[in-house]
Structure 1
C-alpha cells in the first residue's frame, strides 16, 4: 500500500489524496508536522533530503516528492491525464502555472493569515504583494475558464486537481471569489466530480 507523509491542512498534501480518492486507490496517511520532530527529523530527511511534505513512499521503499510529480505518476492511464499530446501538454502548462504563478501568492497569503507561526512574516508589504499576485493568477484562470469548463479543455485533468487544492480555500487568504464567476463555477464542477473528498480526508 502507498504511504503518504503529509499535513491534513496543506493544499499541496491534499492534491495526491484527492486524486487517489478519485482513482479509488487505498493508501496510508502519516501526519507529519514541520520541524525537528517531523520534516526535519533524521528519519524523514533520509527519505526526502529537501525536508518537505507531501512525500509518497512505495512498498519497495522508493519515494517520490513534489505534489505535482505525484499527480502525474498516479494519473498514468487514467482519465486525469489526456491521451492527446497537445491536451496533455496543456495540463502540464497549468501545473507549471500553479507552482510559479498561483501557489506562491494564493497559498502563501492563506498561510500568512491563518497559521500562527507565520504571523511574523505577515507584513503589510508581503500581504499586499501576495494579494496582487493572487488576483493576477485568478484573473488568468477566469479568462481560461470562461472559454473551457476545465483547464485542459472539456475534461477534468491533474491540472484541475492541482489548482483546486488552494483555490477552493482562497477566501481564507482574503481573495474575493465572487469577482471571478467562471472560477467559482469551476470550483463547483470539480467538487461535483465523482470521488470528491474534502481537504481533511485522509483515507
Structure 2
C-alpha cells in the first residue's frame, strides 16, 4: 500500500507512527503542502478534498482523514480495544483531538514553524494560544489519572494526540506546566518500535 503525506505534518506522522508500532510495510509518497502538491489533478482524483494523509490500498481503494486511517490500520491490534465502551473512549479522544486540540495547537505550529509568524497572521496566532492551553489542561487532567488516555495501555487515541502535542513548542506552547503530559510523551518515545518525527 501507499501512504501520501508530508513528513512535517502531524496528521501524516500519526500514520508513520502506527505503521511502525504495528510493523506494517508501505511505500511513502512525499508531498509538499506549501508547493501545492496536494492540489494537482492527479492527487485530487485520489482525494477531492485535496488533503493528506491518504492511504491507497493495493486494490486502489483510498482512505482519507488521519484518524480514519488509524482505525483501519489498528483494527484487531493492541492499539484498538475490542471492548465497545473503550473503543468509544478512543473515538471520544480522537474527536477531541480534531475539534478542540488540532485547530489550535497544529494551526499555531503551522503559523510559527512553517510561516515564521507573518505580521498578517500574528493576531490569529495569538488567538490560538488560549484554545491550545485549554486542550492541554484537559489532557493533563486525564493523564494525572491514567498513564494513557484510555487506561493503562497505549491506543490510537494516544497516537492521535501525541503527533502535534510533542511538537507543541513549535507553536509557542510551553509544556513545562504540564508534567503529566511530559511524562506521557517520554513514555511513548521510550516504547519499542517508536518512530521519531522527521524535521527538515
Tell me the TM-score normalised to structure 1 length: 0.94
Instruction: Tell me by how many angstroms 1:116 deviates.
Output: 2.5
RMSD: 1.5
User: Structure 1, residues 141-186: CA drift from partner, whole Å, max 9, x if none?
Assistant: 0000000000011110000000000000001111111100010000
Secondary structure in 2 aligned to 1:64?
A: strand
Instruction: Tell me by how many angstroms 1:38 deviates.
Output: 1.3
Instruction: Tell me by how many angstroms 1:192 deviates.
Output: 1.4
Tell me the TM-score normalised to structure 2 length: 0.95
Secondary structure in 2 aligned to 1:122?
A: helix
Residue matched to 2:130: 132
Instruction: Tell me by how many angstroms 1:5 deviates.
Output: 0.5
Residue matched to 2:109: 110
Gap change, CA 1:35 and 1:82, over 3 Å in 2: same
Partners of 1:11 and 1:159 in 2: CA distance: 14
Partners of 2:93 and 2:158 in 1: CA distance: 8
Partners of 2:82 and 2:70 in 1: CA distance: 15
Partners of 2:32 and 2:150 in 1: CA distance: 34
Residue matched to 2:179: 181
Task: Detail structure 1 runs of 4+ shifted over 6 Å in the superposition.
Answer: none
Structure 1 residue runs of 5 or longer lacking an equivalent are: none
Residue matched to 1:40: 39
Partners of 2:141 and 2:32 in 1: CA distance: 37
User: Structure 1, residues 22-72: CA drift from partner, whole Å, max 9, x if none?
Assistant: 100111001112267511100000000000110110111110000000000
Partners of 2:113 and 2:99 in 1: CA distance: 22
Partners of 2:117 and 2:40 in 1: CA distance: 21
User: Structure 1, residues 123-144: CA drift from partner, whole Å, max 9, x if none?
Assistant: 2x21221000000000000000
1:58-73 to structure 2, matched below 5 A, reads 58-73=57-72
Kindly indicate whether the alpha-carbon contact (under 8 Å) linking 2:117 and 2:125 is maintained by their aligned counterparts in 1.
no
Kindly indicate whether the alpha-carbon contact (under 8 Å) linking 1:112 and 1:121 is maintained by their aligned counterparts in 2.
no
Structure 2 residue runs of 5 or longer lacking an equivalent are: none
Gap change, CA 1:35 and 1:165, over 3 Å in 2: closer
Partners of 1:61 and 1:144 in 2: CA distance: 40
Gap change, CA 1:120 and 1:150, over 3 Å in 2: same
Kindly indicate whether the alpha-carbon contact (under 8 Å) linking 1:102 and 1:137 is maintained by their aligned counterparts in 2.
yes
